[in-house]
Amino acid sequence: MVGNFTGKQFVIACFGESHGRCVGVTIDGCPAGLPLSEIDIQRELDKRIPPIPEIVSGRREKDIVEILSGIFNGFTTGAPICTLVWNREAIPSEYDLVKDKPRPGHADYPARIKYGGFSDYRGGGRFSGRITVAFVMAGAIAKKLLGFFDIEVFAYTIEIGRVKLDETLSLEEIRKNTYKTAVRCPNLKRADEMEQSILKAKKEGDSVGGIVECIAINVPTGVGEPIFDSLDADVAKMLFNVPAVKGVEFGAGFKAARLKGSQNNDPYVIRDEKIVTLTNNAGGILGGLSSGMPILVRAAIKPTSSISKEQKTVKLSQMEETVIRVKGRHDPCIVPKAVPVIESVVALVLADHMLRAGLIPRVLKGRK
Amino acid sequence: MVGNFTGKQFVIACFGESHGRCVGVTIDGCPAGLPLSEIDIQRELDKRIPPIPEIVSGRREKDIVEILSGIFNGFTTGAPICTLVWNREAIPSEYDLVKDKPRPGHADYPARIKYGGFSDYRGGGRFSGRITVAFVMAGAIAKKLLGFFDIEVFAYTIEIGRVKLDETLSLEEIRKNTYKTAVRCPNLKRADEMEQSILKAKKEGDSVGGIVECIAINVPTGVGEPIFDSLDADVAKMLFNVPAVKGVEFGAGFKAARLKGSQNNDPYVIRDEKIVTLTNNAGGILGGLSSGMPILVRAAIKPTSSISKEQKTVKLSQMEETVIRVKGRHDPCIVPKAVPVIESVVALVLADHMLRAGLIPRVLKGRK
Amino acid sequence: MVGNFTGKQFVIACFGESHGRCVGVTIDGCPAGLPLSEIDIQRELDKRIPPIPEIVSGRREKDIVEILSGIFNGFTTGAPICTLVWNREAIPSEYDLVKDKPRPGHADYPARIKYGGFSDYRGGGRFSGRITVAFVMAGAIAKKLLGFFDIEVFAYTIEIGRVKLDETLSLEEIRKNTYKTAVRCPNLKRADEMEQSILKAKKEGDSVGGIVECIAINVPTGVGEPIFDSLDADVAKMLFNVPAVKGVEFGAGFKAARLKGSQNNDPYVIRDEKIVTLTNNAGGILGGLSSGMPILVRAAIKPTSSISKEQKTVKLSQMEETVIRVKGRHDPCIVPKAVPVIESVVALVLADHMLRAGLIPRVLKGRK
Amino acid sequence: MVGNFTGKQFVIACFGESHGRCVGVTIDGCPAGLPLSEIDIQRELDKRIPPIPEIVSGRREKDIVEILSGIFNGFTTGAPICTLVWNREAIPSEYDLVKDKPRPGHADYPARIKYGGFSDYRGGGRFSGRITVAFVMAGAIAKKLLGFFDIEVFAYTIEIGRVKLDETLSLEEIRKNTYKTAVRCPNLKRADEMEQSILKAKKEGDSVGGIVECIAINVPTGVGEPIFDSLDADVAKMLFNVPAVKGVEFGAGFKAARLKGSQNNDPYVIRDEKIVTLTNNAGGILGGLSSGMPILVRAAIKPTSSISKEQKTVKLSQMEETVIRVKGRHDPCIVPKAVPVIESVVALVLADHMLRAGLIPRVLKGRK
């Protein structure tokens, strides 16, 4: 139990279910004096809805954020900020059929065991991807706070359904193109191929996965708290808390395992009177601390578990094998929706660690 | 600051430096009534020393564990257990030269910035791989505790210096062979090739990396605390706290990103009156909860950063570019030493989560 | 920062301001399977409104609880429970005058320094007694959970405005009379005198304080986590978090300092085949652990800080001395309102510690 | 379980038993750059041994501190500081007799229930007052850190065995006299009477208790983290974690319950261009925040539980009533030993909260 809050100095406590009344989050530790309104959060929430409805589920979640506490005269007060969206389109009845037949790839079965049958199973309940709305709301505040210190975080798709982005991207392209494409890939040509790949899977009643990359720039050197709260460790932890993430790597990542030390080490040089490294195989993290180079991390997203194809499962009440076709509105690929979520959780960890490193004061003043 | 303890119900607080007096760890939360002695811990510590000295550093750390508290009449008492090893062979002077020239791939530079030049730089100080002695000591206790509930954890090498283990391994082989080979790979043929790969890198003054896999069996269904303390999230976090880990994946991992949902979902069936899945692409974790299948995780280890080849770096005091050849006794490959460490941290997280799930009582009695 | 959540296994995270939109609380860690509805919480909230309006502030807070998450089919699910009341009668304008003149006895001045002038000062904002609505809502759930294990908690007034209750009370009286009287004192005669004392102070534009006692019965032996989370330590901590509490003592308390060891020690005897102590000077706590005897604690409540009498203060903007008369609707005595709050926080700590001691399972079944 | 560490940004994790190998503590979160050596800690430890041995136990604990980690070249490094004293004079055999007969007033009985008979009962084991050696070692570091910011903490005895100090004390007297007297009371006349009171109790085979007051000066305004980590709440919590403390009050404390609001409120005035209050009934804390006035707190210490007089108890193995005379070397009054302990824990909480309030940087430089 007690897994619904996280962070040490930028703490978030999350509540709500897929088909309950709302999804919300309380943020404790945000410094006083940060200008903040619903607009800042709504802008991030809107990123969850790709412009081409075909590639995501029919359920268009028009989530309108409400701030319940912690803001006064347009600024944060130092008090906890509670923010939520009300659930609207919930149609619980659809889910009653699967109550006794756990859907492969979902948390249905272990959740039923863990909570003794009391958990809210409607739409996955507490295990639904919908919960990530809370991550995005909290992440919006983290991003606003980081922006005060010129830190920016960008996530974008680099692979979907075996379509890989091999081209090198510029920060300019990422900034300009990511949210122009339905799949959140900054390369417009690859984005188109990825979209086709999704539509093909959809037609087959199947789904595809992909890889999201995230970059954070202007993170000062020395952020992170080894031995046990290393910056990469905390980023990875939050990424694995995002439903469907099955792998995380920094910089060269798994490829580093195949390099020689002389190839993988990033040599120090001086550029513009600053110490930088010629390469960034470390992904901006050395010994659990930020190195001053951009933080670079990738997360592997599995294909959506809900598919209309027939799958083997078990009828729990009778302990007999059976089959299931998952009905309802499902995304044939959740990678596009995962992009703003991954951006958010990386921002959350950075905000927490900037505070822990003493690099953000308790009251913000006279800036921006 | 404050990153040197971790865990919620099996808490470990770690102290010591590479060339200080000792490396130690205090465990809080271990139930009373667990039979425990130095022998249990020493056995695990000894796994850190491969039988073929050529492939690891010349420094043979004959670490002898001492238990300072928490044991009475051969059993844990419920009080915190402090255990340490004294440092013996420390030769700090060797490291004075690198004080002003950060070694590429090491934490030297960000640590200097973070701690304002006060950190103990000798041998990496608090950032040395030597700190993982504490992980192994605490892990030994976690493994003993898990054993009480028939849970076993095994780590082993599956790749070093581009030599991959593609063969499927049986639990029997893992149990029997892992610690027979210097590289901790259960397949004797591949182990030999891996060893050659390490020796070749050594001869070149270079280093190689690899991949360690870890399996945990008999973990009950429903362990893990979503949303923010998912089992995979906490395992990944601890793995990234192990120096040199750059990537972590569960089950199909990054490959899952390339599968269709119908391929990646693990179908439920009944075998021997139990619900199991036909495949284990999920790596034993669904929605952050253990599924009842074996937990399967892999960690990518970068090549050792300390190499004798010349590398670019910067003389900090004068802000000018220079070169460095890292002297001293270094492992051309740290993968073999990482194996018991990874086994330990996975065990630590499982012990913590078994307690959190209420599956381990506060007092152990009448068992084994 | 980050002081708005507490507890380790029954965690509460609190949000809202006196004159903001709402006051709410999220509870994480409540076991699944506890029958719970708004009625359980409303019943406790209603205890905050004494039947005789004259002795409390004119503002009659008819707080209607709403549960936003964590309940499904009438039972807790193991997911976080968010519950709140909306603020209705807030009339912020009254408070604008005091913005620049800190009220003696209130947090106005230190809060202004701490939050750089950004804190919500209306009605004390986050420092208002109104925040204790959140304590009572969470406490209601804690009490329901404790009731499952036959633990009951009762708070009641034993002193107001120098009127002391010297008579010994029976549990029967406490149960029957406490909420019959406006001052929450189970002795009807003393209750009447206390009420007179309050009305007299009110007439003078002044206020009075008092002492609340709290007893918890059927707490099993051995609850509490020394060295640093002793049961008394955690109860005391939560009591001091209640606005206006200035002293806390257990059992003989400050009187123990004047007894001899032979008088203060509680001798063990056997009664009804159980080990009990003849006296309970320890207040049911030995070495930070529950002894099996009733937990007995008292909290001293200062007189209400808001009084209509003229008081010295300082005009902050001009750094000059001035005077203030606090306007608005104020309680001449907050002791009656503090009674259910104190009952609640003691219940919260007990619920947390019962869980920590492993005495409450993660799923409740087949009981009551 | 898991109660052996505390603090959020100045975290201490404590280990050791009365008759085990050692008593130690690890501090995590101390900023880098603080000059620190064994001498700083030894000085505080020595305060535990009053100059007149008659009034304390025959066991003269000549504790010699050792620092195991976290110091390099005479400064803290930002790494955890582990410090311990080895136990020397332990004579466990004396305690075997009481194993089956719980001593009234001690934790023996609840500890036995809680830990299923596995706890180390020798000399109270983990529940012994000896554990407070760890509090003093950590407190010494906290005091050094606070001193960097001109904050000073002084504890002293104001009552023992019904001898009360009614005279007003000056800071000068406290500084000069406290450790001149065996009972740690700054008023020499009262100190003498208190000493007589202790010797009289000793002669009778009995014990006495008392009250310790503690003052902290130069604490900046706004320290403390409401709602749940109020400064008074955290100070009180740590005080109740000190064995034998049964009551805690701030400023006017329990007397405030008998004052009118107009008497108890501290009016603001301007003195020397600073905002101060004319009185300090609040004890320097308003709404859980430091007010800028001295922090003033008192703790009631019960008479020593170990007395040679015969007391009723129970033979647990046979569930029959019996009597006990506690043998061994016992303090007839532990108040003098409690004085440096109370000073230490108040310092610990202040250090933690100064860090939490962002008033202490992560690296100390160029000061003192």
In this prediction, residue C300 carries a pLDDT of: 98
How far apart, in whole angstroms, are the C-alpha atoms of residue D182 and residue D49? 9
> CB burial class (10 A; 0-12, 13-18, 19+) of residue B109?
buried
pLDDT higher than threshold 90 for residue D75: yes
Choose among B264, B306, B321: nearest Cβ to A270: B321
Confidence of residue C297 (pLDDT cuts 50, 70, 90): very high
Name the residue with higher pLDDT: B52 or D63.
D63
Q: What dihedral angle (degrees, nearest 10) is formed by the CA atoms of A245, A249, A251, A255?
A: -120
Choose among D10, D77, D84: nearest Cβ to B120: D77
Contacts of A26 in chain D (CB under 8 A): none
Confidence of residue C368 (pLDDT cuts 50, 70, 90): very low
Give the neighbor-by-neighbor strand order of the sheet with A5-6.
A5-6, A11-16, A22-28, A81-86, A65-67
DSSP-derived 3-state class of residue B136: helix
Choose among D3, D265, D270: nearest Cβ to C229: D3
Tokens coding B158: 């599956």
Contacts of B361 in chain C (CB under 8 A): 358
**D362/A362 CB distance under 8 A:** no
In this structure, are residues B114 and B334 in contact, taking their beta carbons and an 8 Å threshold?
A: no
Choose among A26, A76, A116: nearest Cβ to C15: A26
Contacts of C74 in chain A (CB under 8 A): none
Rounded to a whole number, what is the distance in Å from the CA of D34 to chain B's nearest CA?
9
Rounded to a whole number, what is the distance in Å from the CA of C71 to chain A's nearest CA?
8
Locate the domains of chain D by residue range: 5-356
Which residue reads 């999220």 in tokens?
Answer: C26
Segment D323-334 mean pLDDT: 88
Q: Using alpha carbons only, what angle is made at residue C202 by residues C200 and C203, rounded to the nearest 5 degrees?
A: 65
Segment D280-306 mean pLDDT: 98
- CA distances to A105, A267, C97, C222 from D301, rounded to whole Å, are 59, 62, 45, 22
Burial pattern A48-71, b for ≥16 Cβ within 10 A else e, equals bebeeeebbbebebebebebbbbb
How far apart, in whole angstroms, are the C-alpha atoms of residue C210 and residue C301? 5
Name the residue with higher pLDDT: A92 or A262.
A262
Tokens coding A203: 């037609």
**B247/A254 CB distance under 8 A:** yes
Segment D123-152 mean pLDDT: 96
Segment C136-148 mean pLDDT: 98
DSSP-derived 3-state class of residue A43: helix
Tokens coding D353: 């909260």
CA-nearest of B127, D362, B15 to A285 is B127
Cα distance from N-terminal residue to C-terminal residue, chain B? 41
Contacts of B31 in chain D (CB under 8 A): 1
Which neighbouring-strand residues pair with B324? B311
**C1/A26 CB distance under 8 A:** no
pLDDT digits (tens, 9 = 90+) for C53-83: 677 665 555 899 999 999 999 999 999 999 9
**A288/B241 CB distance under 8 A:** yes
**A80/C14 CB distance under 8 A:** yes
CATH no. of B5-356: 3.60.150.10
Please name the chains neighbouring B, where neighbouring means 3+ C-beta pairs under 8 angstroms.
A, C, D
Confidence of residue A368 (pLDDT cuts 50, 70, 90): very low
Q: Using alpha carbons only, what angle is made at residue C137 by residues C134 and C143, rounded to the nearest 5 degrees?
A: 135
pLDDT digits (tens, 9 = 90+) for C252-294: 999 999 999 999 999 999 999 999 999 999 999 999 999 999 9
Which residue reads 């301001």 in tokens?
Answer: C17
Which residue reads 């004052």 in tokens?
Answer: D259
- CA distances to C225, D121, D126 from D19, rounded to whole Å, are 20, 9, 9
Give the neighbor-by-neighbor strand order of the sheet with D81-86.
D5-6, D11-16, D22-28, D81-86, D65-67
Contacts of A10 in chain C (CB under 8 A): 2
**Nearest residue of A to residue D222 by CA position?**
A362
In this structure, are residues C333 and C2 in contact, taking their beta carbons and an 8 Å threshold?
A: no
Q: Using alpha carbons only, what angle is made at residue D309 by residues D306 and D310, rounded to the nearest 5 degrees?
A: 105
pLDDT digits (tens, 9 = 90+) for A30-79: 999 999 999 999 999 999 887 776 776 655 558 999 999 999 999 999 99
CA-nearest of B76, B212, B252, B242 to B148 is B76
Choose among A225, A259, A311: nearest Cβ to B2: A225
Rounded to a whole number, what is the distance in Å from the CA of D36 to chain A's nearest CA?
22
pLDDT digits (tens, 9 = 90+) for A205-260: 999 999 999 999 999 999 999 999 999 999 999 999 999 999 999 999 999 999 99
Choose among A105, A107, A236: nearest Cβ to B289: A107
Interface test with C, best of D108, D114, D131, D239 (most C CBs within 10 A): D114
Contacts of A79 in chain C (CB under 8 A): 4, 15, 17, 119-120, 125-126
**B365/D72 CB distance under 8 A:** no
Which residue reads 């120096």 in tokens?
Answer: B243
**A362/D358 CB distance under 8 A:** yes
How far apart, in whole angstroms, are the C-alpha atoms of residue A1 and residue B353? 9
Which residue reads 């943020």 in tokens?
Answer: A27
CA-nearest of D134, D241, D300, D129 to C288 is D241
Which residue reads 């970059």 in tokens?
Answer: A215
Which neighbouring-strand residues pair with C285? C290
Contacts of C357 in chain B (CB under 8 A): 362
CA-nearest of D172, B256, C343, D76 to A303 is B256
Please name the chains neighbouring C, where neighbouring means 3+ C-beta pairs under 8 angstroms.
A, B, D
Secondary structure E strands in A165-282: 210-217, 245-250, 268-271, 274-277
Choose among B9, B28, B77: nearest Cβ to D13: B28
How far apart, in whole angstroms, are the C-alpha atoms of residue A57 and residue B50? 53
In this prediction, residue A60 carries a pLDDT of: 59
Interface test with A, best of B17, B211, B260, B279 (most A CBs within 10 A): B260
Contacts of C78 in chain A (CB under 8 A): 1, 114-115, 118-119
DSSP-derived 3-state class of residue C151: coil
In this structure, are residues C282 and C232 in contact, taking their beta carbons and an 8 Å threshold?
A: no
Choose among B261, B277, B301: nearest Cβ to A257: B301
In this prediction, residue C50 carries a pLDDT of: 74
DSSP-derived 3-state class of residue C145: helix
How far apart, in whole angstroms, are the C-alpha atoms of residue B38 and residue A235? 35
Choose among B26, B33, B72: nearest Cβ to D120: B72
Rounded to a whole number, what is the distance in Å from the CA of D310 to chain C's nearest CA?
9
In this structure, are residues D1 and B31 in contact, taking their beta carbons and an 8 Å threshold?
A: yes
**Nearest residue of C to residue B357 by CA position?**
C362
**C361/B362 CB distance under 8 A:** no
Rounded to a whole number, what is the distance in Å from the CA of D73 to chain C's nearest CA?
32
In this prediction, residue A49 carries a pLDDT of: 84
pLDDT higher than threshold 80 for residue C89: no
Segment D85-109 mean pLDDT: 80
In chain B, which residues have pLDDT < 50?
Answer: 368
B168 Cβ neighbours under 8 A, 6+ residues apart: none
A-B Cβ pairs (cutoff 8 Å, strict)? 389
Amino acid at residue number D110: P
How far apart, in whole angstroms, are the C-alpha atoms of residue A36 and residue C124? 21
Choose among C82, C126, C365: nearest Cβ to A24: C82
How far apart, in whole angstroms, are the C-alpha atoms of residue D139 and residue D343? 8
Chain centre distance of CA D235 = 10
In this structure, are residues D29 and D40 in contact, taking their beta carbons and an 8 Å threshold?
A: no
DSSP B363: B
C-D Cβ pairs (cutoff 8 Å, strict)? 389
**C118/A78 CB distance under 8 A:** yes
Rounded to a whole number, what is the distance in Å from the CA of A330 to chain C's nearest CA?
24
pLDDT higher than threshold 90 for residue A139: yes
Rounded to a whole number, what is the distance in Å from the CA of D10 to chain B's nearest CA?
7
Helices (H), chain D: 38-46, 108-114, 132-147, 171-177, 188-203, 231-240, 261-264, 335-356
**C246/D283 CB distance under 8 A:** yes
**Nearest residue of C to residue B9 by CA position?**
C356
Share of chain A above pLDDT 70, in %: 93
Rounded to a whole number, what is the distance in Å from the CA of C178 to chain A's nearest CA?
34
> What element of type H or E holds B264?
helix B261-264
Amino acid at residue number D24: G
Which residue reads 């310092």 in tokens?
Answer: D347
Contacts of D225 in chain A (CB under 8 A): none
In this prediction, residue B368 carries a pLDDT of: 46
Choose among D227, D246, D253: nearest Cβ to C3: D227
In this prediction, residue A92 carries a pLDDT of: 54
**B162/A247 CB distance under 8 A:** no
Share of chain A above pLDDT 90, in %: 87
**Nearest residue of B to residue D86 by CA position?**
B68
Mean pLDDT of chain C: 94
In this structure, are residues C159 and C199 in contact, taking their beta carbons and an 8 Å threshold?
A: no
In this prediction, residue B330 carries a pLDDT of: 81
Please name the chains neighbouring D, where neighbouring means 3+ C-beta pairs under 8 angstroms.
A, B, C
**B5/D13 CB distance under 8 A:** yes
> Helices D231-240 and D335-356: crossing angle, nearest 10°?
150
Rounded to a whole number, what is the distance in Å from the CA of D47 to chain C's nearest CA?
22
**D357/A362 CB distance under 8 A:** yes
